Amino acid sequence: MLWYMAPPAAFVQKLNFSALMAIMKKTVMDTMKGRVLTIPRFERVPWLIHGFGTGEWSEEDFSKNEEWEDFRLIILDQVHSDTVHRLERPPERKLRGDALITGQPGLFLTIKTADCLPVLVVDEDRRVIAAAHCGWRGTLKRILERVVHDLRERDGSDPAKLLVALGPCIGPDCYEVGSEVRAAFEDAGFPPRVLHQRTLKPGKYLLDLREANRGQLNRAGVKRENIFSFDACTHCCSDLMSYRRDHIKKKRMFAFIGMKS
């Protein structure tokens, strides 16, 4: 299995996705069936496996890597909630919620998206990881703050030392929402910069999902320099899946994170 390793993190944060995909296509063989984006800083953690699958990566691709044959794929029944599950072992049934935390090796915490924001979290010192699904509803409920709080209270994590990766999601120029969503974010105390009014569409606004969640992380104590983000709009890039663009309910991209033994 071939992987695409992203450019240095500072570059990734400023790189538009068209350029990123152009580099990726030059780097990866045309015959490769699955493509995964990775964060260089996360690659430096020796016991960690992670990735953000593009539209060409499927659930079947996990079983094609012999090094992962002992891993269990954990997939949530995602419901746009603020429910966080902590795993000590593989669950006996599919869990309903939108975030997972574990300190156990051999589990791939998996988030499925097609416009929403996938988020991966690592505590190198405590050897614990997390994955979260952040749509506008989960963001409004501050699910990432709950994840950081859980890591701090139950694992003794220092939020200032957490490493966080934000995967591809719908961008701030494409994520149109109504006035009721704007009002809900204002009432919840989100800063005005995460929403912008559409000039030609009264009552319509553009939501910056990535910035809304980055702000949550900062508020919870995560350092801005420890947040790594792919500047990728799923709606604009045909290599990524977008429900708003394609209206396909079943197809999703996979973001995942796991610990080696």
Are 70 and 89 in contact by the 8 Å Cβ rule? The answer is no
Contacting residues for 55 by C-beta, under 8 A, at least 6 apart: 238, 239, 240, 241, 251, 253
Are 121 and 131 in contact by the 8 Å Cβ rule? The answer is yes
Closest CA to 68 of 113, 36, 28: 36
Are 209 and 219 in contact by the 8 Å Cβ rule? The answer is no
CA atoms within 13 A on the CB side of 171: 13
Closest CA to 101 of 74, 77, 78: 74
Identify the sign of the CA torsion 147, 149, 155, 161.
positive
pLDDT of 16: 53
Are 230 and 12 in contact by the 8 Å Cβ rule? The answer is yes
Distance between CA atoms of 252 and 199, rounded to whole angstroms?
32
Give the pLDDT confidence of 191-244 residue by residue, as tens digits.
Answer: 999 999 987 888 999 999 999 999 999 999 999 999 999 988 999 999 999 999
Helices (H), 104-238: 136-140, 143-155, 179-187, 209-219
Give the pLDDT confidence of 85-139 residue by residue, as tens digits.
Answer: 999 999 999 999 999 999 999 999 999 999 999 999 999 999 999 999 999 999 9
Write down the domain spans for the chain: 4-24+35-259
User: What CATH class has 4-24+35-259?
Assistant: alpha beta
